């Protein structure tokens, strides 16, 4: 609801795709610059306590935006500032939440848990946009932001009710010099993690800019309202839920599966860009959602399963940079393309980027073939995780600590 309301509010105030792209960029610029530091914080402290703080901050920011809109005092520069502060919150919140999944579910259930979590998020993309479209058309923007702020109370209650002794906790890493540098060194020395992150960076920069491309195509290509944008987002959510039901039952994570998911993702997005009408675009967005959840859940599970426990939050912070932090680079580009070349081209650029990521993954795997990762147990544990107390862990290997 927040995403729908904020995007349509910016378009209502400015009518500019570039302005919309700039708001999205400001929201994710802190993630690009500071998420690795957020990963270090997540490795050092209790993830549950960190989430209490970050979720409370996000609730406060949503409430401020709601009050400004309700009183009629909202201006574009205010949205810029609030988006930036929301990004600062996400720098710590996102890598913490990603690595917290392992503590909630444990290693054996991680693959399934990541997919189910992605399904849940995408299910909200079906429900939230539909409600937001009705509220914006019937009452206005403010209710979207008030309801979003109130929803964080449920999150905080859930965190409070969790029993700490039942979590699969990773011991916090003690503070020491060079931990941020060690995270980058660890990725550089682990080819599979590096290749997955590069694919995610390509797609995160230009493909996952739906906050920019979908409002533009709904408003200017199909001449619709906020309801049209909500329908496109909901269709993607439906596809993600259906795709997730298939993916959640799989027990193995294959690097080649990433290539296939990226290829399917690119083809389906190109189909949306070529759609002659809104109903055809909605059908294509269902396919986009299915391929999207395939790619993101495979990426996420691969990174977590192949990471040493003491490095997991730092690895996931770089996932956050690749997935979300790349937005400040991509969203203004997609917004500019949409404004000057047309919304269809803005969508098509994202599809072509996904195809480029699939090509990179294909040639990388040809050079360095990797076995599938199983979530069945320790006997199938990836090498990096098995070596968490030895050479596979940059925090435990004296030679790694001495590297620049």
| Per-residue pLDDT tens digits for 141-160 | 999 899 999 999 999 999 99
Range of the domain at 229: 2-164+178-397
* 203-224: average pLDDT: 88
* 264-291: average pLDDT: 94
- How many structural domains does the chain have? 1
404 within domain boundaries: no
Paired tokens of 180: 């941020």
CB atoms within 10 A of CB 157: 9
172 within domain boundaries: no
Q: What is the chain's mean pLDDT, rounded?
A: 82
173 within domain boundaries: no
| Per-residue pLDDT tens digits for 90-144 | 999 988 988 888 888 887 787 788 778 877 876 776 677 778 888 888 888 999 8
Residue showing tokens 């990433």: 258
Most confident of 54-68, 111-125, 129-143, 163-177: 54-68
Instruction: Show Cβ contacts of residue 76 under 8 Å, excluding neighbours closer than 6 positions.
Output: 10, 13, 14, 19
Tell me the pTM. 0.70
Q: What is the CATH number of the domain that holds 20?
A: 1.20.1250.20
CA-CA distance, 356 to 354, in Å (whole number)?
5
318 within domain boundaries: yes
Which 3 state secondary structure label does DSSP give 373? strand
Q: What is the pLDDT of residue 272?
A: 94
80 within domain boundaries: yes
48 within domain boundaries: yes
170 within domain boundaries: no
């Amino acid at each position: 609801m927040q995403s729908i309301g904020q995007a349509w509010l910016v378009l209502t105030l400015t009518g500019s795709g570039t302005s919309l792209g700039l708001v999205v960029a400001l929201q994710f610029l802190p993630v690009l610059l500071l998420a690795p530091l957020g990963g270090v914080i997540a490795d050092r402290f209790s993830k549950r306590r960190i989430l209490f703080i970050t979720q409370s901050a996000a609730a406060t920011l949503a409430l401020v935006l709601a009050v400004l809109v309700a009183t009629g005092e909202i201006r574009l520069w205010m949205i810029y500032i609030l988006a930036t502060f929301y990004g600062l919150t996400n720098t710590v919140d996102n890598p913490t939440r990603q690595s917290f999944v392992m503590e909630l579910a444990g290693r054996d259930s991680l693959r399934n848990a990541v997919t189910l979590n992605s399904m849940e998020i995408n299910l909200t993309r079906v429900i939230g946009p539909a409600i937001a479209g009705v509220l914006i058309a019937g009452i206005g923007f403010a209710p979207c932001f008030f309801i979003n702020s109130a929803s964080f109370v449920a999150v905080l209650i859930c965190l409070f009710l969790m029993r700490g002794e039942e979590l699969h906790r990773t011991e916090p890493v003690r503070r020491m010099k060079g931990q941020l540098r060690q995270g980058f060194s660890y990725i550089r020395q682990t080819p599979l993690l590096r290749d997955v992150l590069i694919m995610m960076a390509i797609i995160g920069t230009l493909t996952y800019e739906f906050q920019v491309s979908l409002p533009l195509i709904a408003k200017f290509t199909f001449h619709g309202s906020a309801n049209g944008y909500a329908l496109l987002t909901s269709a993607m959510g439906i596809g993600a839920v259906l795709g997730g039901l298939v993916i959640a039952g799989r027990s193995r994570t294959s690097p080649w599966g990433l290539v296939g998911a990226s290829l399917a993702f690119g083809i389906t997005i190109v189909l949306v860009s070529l759609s002659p009408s809104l109903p055809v675009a909605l059908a294509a967005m269902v396919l986009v959602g299915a391929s999207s959840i395939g790619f993101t859940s495979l990426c996420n599970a691969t990174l977590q399963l192949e990471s040493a426990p003491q490095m997991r939050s730092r690895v996931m912070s770089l996932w956050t940079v690749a997935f979300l932090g790349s937005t400040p680079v991509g969203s203004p580009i997609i917004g500019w393309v949409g404004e000057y070349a047309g919304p269809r081209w803005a969508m098509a650029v994202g599809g072509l980027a996904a195809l480029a990521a699939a090509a990179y993954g294909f040639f990388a795997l040809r050079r360095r073939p990797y076995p599938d990762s199983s979530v069945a147990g320790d006997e199938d544990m990836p090498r990096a995780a098995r070596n968490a107390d030895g050479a596979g862990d940059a925090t435990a290997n004296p030679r790694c600590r001495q590297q620049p």
